Every structure is written in C-alpha cells, then in structure tokens.
Amino acid sequence: AQGNKILVATLGSPLGKVIEDKQLKATWNEKEEITGADGRGIGALQLHYYSNHYPLDPASILPLLPPSCPENIRKLFQEIKQRDTLIGEENELGRLARREQSYEAKKALDGWMRSDGAIKEMQSHLDKFNADDKKVAELVAQQAYRLAYWKIASDELNYRRFFDVNELLAIKSENKGVFEESVQLIKEWIQTGKVQALRLDHPDGLYNPAKFFKDLQEIMAPVMPKELVVLDDSRPLFVLVEKILEPGESLRTSWPVSGTVGYEYMNVLNDVFVDTVKENEMRRIYAKYVSEDYNASTSAKDFAKLLYTSKRNLLFTSFQTELDAVSLLFQEILSTSSIGRDFSLKQIKKAIVETVANCPVYRTYITQECDGPTSEDNHVIDTTFKQLREKNEVDSLLADLIENVYRCKGEDKSQDYKKKARHAVMKLQQLTGPVMAKGLEDTSFYRFFLLTSLNEVGGDPDKFGLTKEEFHKYNQTRVKDWPHTMSNSSTHDTKRSEDVRARINTLSEIPDAWEHIVYKWREMNAKFKTNVAGLGPVPGPNEEYMIYQTLVGAWPMGAKEASEEFIDRMRNYLNKCVKEAKQYTTWVKQNEPYEKAVIHFMETIVKDHNWLASFLPFIHPLVRAAKLNSVSLVSLKLTCPGIPDIYQGQEVWDFSLVDPDNRRPVDYVVRHRLLSSVKSSVSSSSDFSSFASKALEDSDDSGTIKLMVTERLLDLRNRNQALFLAGDYQPITAPGSVVAFRRSLNNKNIVVASRRFFVDKNNEEKDKQGTIELTGSYRDVLTGKTHSFSGSASLSTLFSVLPFVVLESN
C-alpha cells in the first residue's frame, strides 16, 4: 500500500482533514540540527505538524522558494531534481553524491536566509503556499514517506519499530554499513577514554544479537586505550546487556558480553525475603478476595492463561503488521511443500499467533550461520509446541510444519530454501520478544496481584518467593558463569522501588492479619465506590486489592496523613495501572468514568479518618520490619557475586512507584550532607551501635542506616576488588531464616550472615539461638569490632547490632 515509501502514521486525523484544517505547514526552521563538514549547523525547509518536524526531499523544494531567492540557489535544487538517482535506487555512489549535493544546496539556502529581509520574504511566500491545500498535498506526496492517520499504523505499518511506538524506527544493524555508522560515535568515545563500558538496551530486538556483540567487540578492541581495565580477554570491552531472563533461563555463555544489567538478580534478591512457607495461605486469600470478579478470579487461579491471553490479544492489536509480515514469510516457506501449500494465509497466521503466545521466554537465537537450535533453543521450542498442541487451536499437520521450520529441519532442499527459512525464523524471533514484554510486563503485571512485590521485570508473579537453598544455588551458578554481571535492586524500569517491595514483602509473613484487615477495609470503604455503567461498583475487588498493597508499600515513612504530593503521585500511578491492564480502559480508548472512579476511591480513603485509624496501626510494625528487610538486602547485594549497581537516590529510603515516579530528580546535596554528618559522628564501634539503634527507630525516616551500610560495604569492595571480582561463593549452613555464605580468594575471606522475616519478633529469638561454623580472626566491617572464632560463631553475638553481619578476615 505504501509502495517504496515509509509509512509515518503520526497524524491525529486523516491527512486530508489535517491539510484542510491548516495543521500541516511548510516552514523554515533555522534551528534544524544539520551539521556539515565545517561543523556549522544550517537551517532547513520542513513540514511542521504541531511539535513534529518532517524533512523535505530537496527535489521537492523549488515551489517553496520565494521569487527573490537567488538564481544560483534555485539552480542547485533544480539539478538535484534532474538527477537520475532516485530515492530507493540501489546505487550507493549515486546516493552519496546526491546527499553531498543536497547538503551544498541547503547550505547555500541557509546562507541566503541569513541576509536582510530573506526570512520575511520566505515567510510571506510560505503563507501563500500553505493557504493552497492542493499545493500542500502535492508537496507531501513527493516525499520518501507517507504521512497518515495514526490509527492505520496497526494495519499498514511497513517498518520495524521499538515495541509498538510508531515514532521510534528500527535500523538494520545486521547491515555492515549501517552497523559501522551507528557505532561510530561510541567508537570515538571509547578511543578518547570518555566511555569505559557499555550498556546495551533491548538486545532481543536485534536480528542477530550474538553477531552484533561479536562485531562490537571486534570494532572496539583495537581502539581501546591501553590503560582501560580488561576483566576478561575474550570480552575486552565491558558490555552489559538488558536481556530479560525468565526464571530458569540463563544468559548464553557464548555471547562476548560481561553479563546482564541485573533484572533477573533484582528478583532473586527481592524474592528471598518473601516467606515461601505462607504461599498457600496468601493464594487462598487473593483467590477468595477477587472471587466475585470473573476475570480476576480466573487469572488468580491460572496466571499462565492470563499471560497467554494477553500476548494473543496484543498480536491482533498492537503487533498486527509485524504478525502479517512473519505470516507471509512462513507462507512462502510452507508453499514449497505439497502439504504446506494447502494451508491458507489465515490458517498460517493463526498458527504463528499460537506459536508466539505459547513461547515461554522472550526469544530463541537461531541464526543463518548456526548448525541449528541449541539445547536451550530446543527446550524453548519443546515447551512452545507442547503448550500449543494442548490448546488444540492449530491443525496438527500445520503445527508440525511450523515446528519443523523452527527446528531448521528439511533445509537440504536448497541453499535458497535454507536462507529463506532461517530468515523467517529470525523474523519470528524478533516478534516473540516485544510481544512477551508487552504481554507480561505491561499487561499481566497490572492484572495479577497475588503479592505485588513479585511483579517485576525479569520475575514471575506466580512464583511465591525463593528459598535460601535456591538463593545459594543461583549465586554458585553466577560466580561460575557470570562473575562480572550486574546486581540490581531498583532501576528506571522497576514497577516499585526496592523499599516499596521490602514493605510489601512483609505481608507474606502475616497472612492471617492481612486477611483480617483487608476484609475490614473492604467493608469500611464500600461506600466510597462509584457505580459505573456496565461495570457496577468501581474499583472492583482486584483493583482494590492492588490499591491496598500499594498504599502499604508506598506510604511515606512517618506520615500521619496523605500529603497532596503523595495523592498526586498515586493518581498518576493508578492512571497508568488501569490503562496498562487494558481491561476496562486503555491509552487509546479511554473510559473516563472508570478511571475517575478508581482514582476517586483512592483519594477518598486516604483522607478518611476512620480508615487511617485502622491503616496506620496496621503498617506500624511493617515499617520497622521493612527497614530491616531493606538494609539486609543491601548487605547481600553488595557482597554476593556480581557488580552492584545503585539506582539514583536509592542510597536512602525511597518509596517510588513505576515511571515516571521513579525518574524524579534526586537531591544529591542532601545525601552528601547526610553521609558527611554520619561519617563524622560514627568513628568507633560504640558510636555505630548507638547510631544503628537510633536509625532503626520509628521516628527516623532519613535512611541514614541504609546510606551508612552502603558506604562501608562499598569501601570493603574497593579494598578487596580481586576477591569480589574473582572470589568463589560457599554457602554456610545456618538456622531458621538466616542466609550465610563465604566469599574467598587465596587466604582472604569475607563472611556474610543475614536474617530475614522481621515482623514476628519470635523469629529473631529463634535465629539468634543458633550458630554457624566459623574459625579464625575477623573484623566486623560495620562496627569495627574484632572477633576470634574456634569452630563456631554465636548468631546472638553476630546480630547484636544489626540483623546481618559482614566479617572480613584479619
């Protein structure tokens, strides 16, 4: 439908209507950021539509030049129009020559526009031009793109994009020339020492991620400064990838990268503070609470079905054009067999939908060059087609054919067949990733609320916590395969900050109390719900359950009432939640009565004195327990295998929710002042004990204890870099909730022991009654005290100041 033009579907109405309403105009933009070889920026004629600026083909510019424009400039643009090299022609030299000629013409026009009176004459001429709808339409038609109504994008888009964002076009980095040009600036930064490491976001969108990483290392290695530290000779440049690993999935060890940005480990750190013993009770409470809501009740019992349905719906809405493109590729492949050619495009499209919707991870990594699927790929394909066949939505013969193509079978027909079949699979792989991201993180996470602290990127909301045995096993694998990968606990992408999650996690320890209070609140607040046509009382039980968990987690420390700032943040949060859920309202089709009812409910209850009189006493013991959760998590994050990353502002208590809430400006001056104050007042072990005791009191909301622990453990890492980069990880048997391990290299040892589950103070007594095996002389990194152990260490001694201890061997 677009010919050789790119569809730019960004208009708020059909093109004819936009032109008729004079919303699209040719203008002179003197601030256009086009820079030539001389380093000078030049202006340009463009099409403007509100804040959007669209470039104009120099060959179409002649009618826009006023009569007073010098003839030599007109001639330059005339010559461009007369060139034989057309847009899209596969003539590299011709295109390069045209580009240089275009720049010279624009530069000349910019020079004239700087002369006296030129801008006034240009504006007068453009005003007359823009008044003629026919001329504007003709100008638009001459461009290399087709401007169109945004609503047709899902049906007619003809380029790859970032997820479903039409304005963010993907480039073909698999093309050598495109790749080299796209990394040229980064190469200069590396060469000049401005950048020492790279973070690559969304690598699953690449056609061939492994090749991209390999090419990146090869192009950067020769220009890396000699003084740049190399941790691994096989991966000279330190590169971390934002690869989302589903639970049980591992990063491909063949990739020449240093690890991930740590989303999967963020969930490991969080989930070990969830009480797995209480899982059945928490599931029962959630299922019972939402039982009157059919959709939520079904999801509560079967998260896998919710995810499958979410992905399926997205394929028919947000990813329709991508689905069509992949389906056509598979139709071409299947048409080469006598069985395959009897299946219609509609049937093949349905089979691709089921393949994508049943894929358990973001993607597989089959390439043109590989021998076929790896064992990891085959495991994914096994699971995909097992689930696909169980649902019985696809003809069994067609399922076999699609699976055979996916497994690279039957490629001995011809080299041409193999190349096309692999290409079809590789395009399929580029589709499964964004559909998983949008279906899981941006849909299912906003519909399933068993325990909202589990709803994080790289996590599984349906897996209720992590045992300490699982925690140790994960770290042992990590230190062996990816010792330099990143350890995160909060990022710009997290749905809730680490401190919000730490407080919500405490609910897993008290299911009985939670059940009692949440039903009490339901009864108290029923009068604040609004009847919405077709939906009944709003919010429904599922949204209400989520709101209560959010208030428990995000309530400002020490607050006796909700400030207007907090209420405004909650408004924005809930507005995003209900739209991302895509059940009763969406970003595209908004249901204002429903949205207003949800927000009104929150605004009303947080101002209701009766509800606050119940809410505040309930969260009081959780606030202290969550403080201990948070600092204990810091002790693990900064000592376990991996390189820790501290997201902006998380050095102290931070109760941010999903973006844009977690991207607010951070007051580093205050944090610097806090750290200086604490360091100057805490110089001895007795000082630290007194400081820690006060910092964990209910009245202290500064977060200085978290800041101080972070500072001292980072100092420990700095003094023991080799140990933390290359040291091993050995679990230590510990009683109760205690997680203990040893990091060691040569004769140096770091021993860590950390408690969990702090709401019930009886747990503290049980944990402190035990011992761990330990021999030798150690210094407590936080208090500065020295200890000598002969075979065992009493936990009551180790936990005398804080609920965790970090010991450094003398």
- At residue 294, the pLDDT reads 78
Q: Which two tokens stand for residue 52?
A: 């959007």
**Is residue 764 over pLDDT 90?**
no
Q: What is the mean pLDDT of the chain?
A: 93
Q: How confident is the model at residue 586 (pLDDT cuts 50, 70, 90)?
A: very high
Dihedrals phi, psi of 152, to nearest 5 degrees = -85, -5
- At residue 266, the pLDDT reads 97
- At residue 1, the pLDDT reads 56
**Where is average pLDDT lowest: 88-92, 508-512, 755-759, 795-799?**
88-92
**CB-CB contact of 453 with 504 (8 Å):** yes
pLDDT digits (tens, 9 = 90+) for 354-366: 999 999 999 999 9
- At residue 132, the pLDDT reads 97
**CB-CB contact of 274 with 460 (8 Å):** no
pLDDT digits (tens, 9 = 90+) for 118-155: 999 999 999 999 999 999 999 999 999 999 998 888 78
Query: Within 10 A of 499 (CB to CB), how many other CB atoms are there?
Result: 26
CA distances (Å), origin 788, targets 639, 712, 723, 779, 809: 21, 21, 22, 9, 10
Query: DSSP alpha helices (H): ranges in 261-407?
Result: 263-271, 279-289, 294-301, 303-315, 320-334, 345-358, 375-391, 396-406
Q: Which two tokens stand for residue 731?
A: 């679990």
**Is residue 36 over pLDDT 90?**
no
pLDDT digits (tens, 9 = 90+) for 290-348: 998 877 888 888 999 999 999 999 999 999 999 999 999 999 999 999 999 999 999 99
Bigger pLDDT: 297 vs 587: 587
Mean pLDDT (whole number) for 632-643: 97
pLDDT digits (tens, 9 = 90+) for 427-471: 999 999 999 999 999 999 999 999 999 999 999 999 999 999 999
Rg of the Cα atoms in the chain: 30
**Is residue 3 over pLDDT 80?**
no
**Is residue 43 over pLDDT 70?**
yes
- At residue 403, the pLDDT reads 98
Percent of residues, the chain, with pLDDT higher than 90 = 82
Q: How many residues does the chain have?
A: 810
- Interatomic CA distance for residues 245 and 260, integer angstroms: 9
- At residue 32, the pLDDT reads 58
- Interatomic CA distance for residues 227 and 236, integer angstroms: 12
The DSSP output letter for 235 is S
**Is residue 270 over pLDDT 50?**
yes
Cis omega (within 30 of 0) for bond into 593: no
- At residue 92, the pLDDT reads 62
**Is residue 382 over pLDDT 80?**
yes
pLDDT digits (tens, 9 = 90+) for 148-176: 998 888 788 888 888 888 888 899 999 99
Bigger pLDDT: 702 vs 479: 479
pLDDT digits (tens, 9 = 90+) for 273-284: 999 999 999 999
- At residue 650, the pLDDT reads 95
Query: Within 10 A of 101 (CB to CB), how many other CB atoms are there?
Result: 17
Q: How confident is the model at residue 37 (pLDDT cuts 50, 70, 90)?
A: very low
- At residue 41, the pLDDT reads 60
Mean pLDDT (whole number) for 373-387: 97
Dihedrals phi, psi of 755, to nearest 5 degrees = -85, 160
Query: Within 10 A of 63 (CB to CB), how many other CB atoms are there?
Result: 13
Mean pLDDT (whole number) for 38-51: 78
pLDDT digits (tens, 9 = 90+) for 385-444: 999 999 999 999 999 999 999 999 988 889 999 999 999 999 999 999 999 999 999 999
Residue 740, beta-bridge partner list = 732, 753
pLDDT digits (tens, 9 = 90+) for 188-227: 999 999 999 999 999 999 999 999 999 999 999 999 999 8
Mean pLDDT (whole number) for 93-102: 78
pLDDT digits (tens, 9 = 90+) for 50-92: 989 999 999 999 999 999 999 999 999 998 887 644 444 455 6
Cis omega (within 30 of 0) for bond into 55: no
- Cα-Cα-Cα-Cα dihedral of 189, 194, 199, 205, to 10°? -20
- At residue 85, the pLDDT reads 46
pLDDT digits (tens, 9 = 90+) for 676-712: 998 888 877 678 888 888 888 777 788 999 999 999 9
**Is residue 618 over pLDDT 70?**
yes
- Cα-Cα-Cα-Cα dihedral of 276, 277, 283, 289, to 10°? -110
Q: How confident is the model at residue 39 (pLDDT cuts 50, 70, 90)?
A: very low
Which residues touch 802 (CB under 8 Å, ≥6 apart)? 631, 692, 709, 782
Can you tell me whether residue 694 is helix, strand or coil? Answer: helix
Bigger pLDDT: 245 vs 231: 245
Q: How confident is the model at residue 35 (pLDDT cuts 50, 70, 90)?
A: very low
Can you tell me whether residue 721 is helix, strand or coil? Answer: helix
Q: Which two tokens stand for residue 148?
A: 């169109």
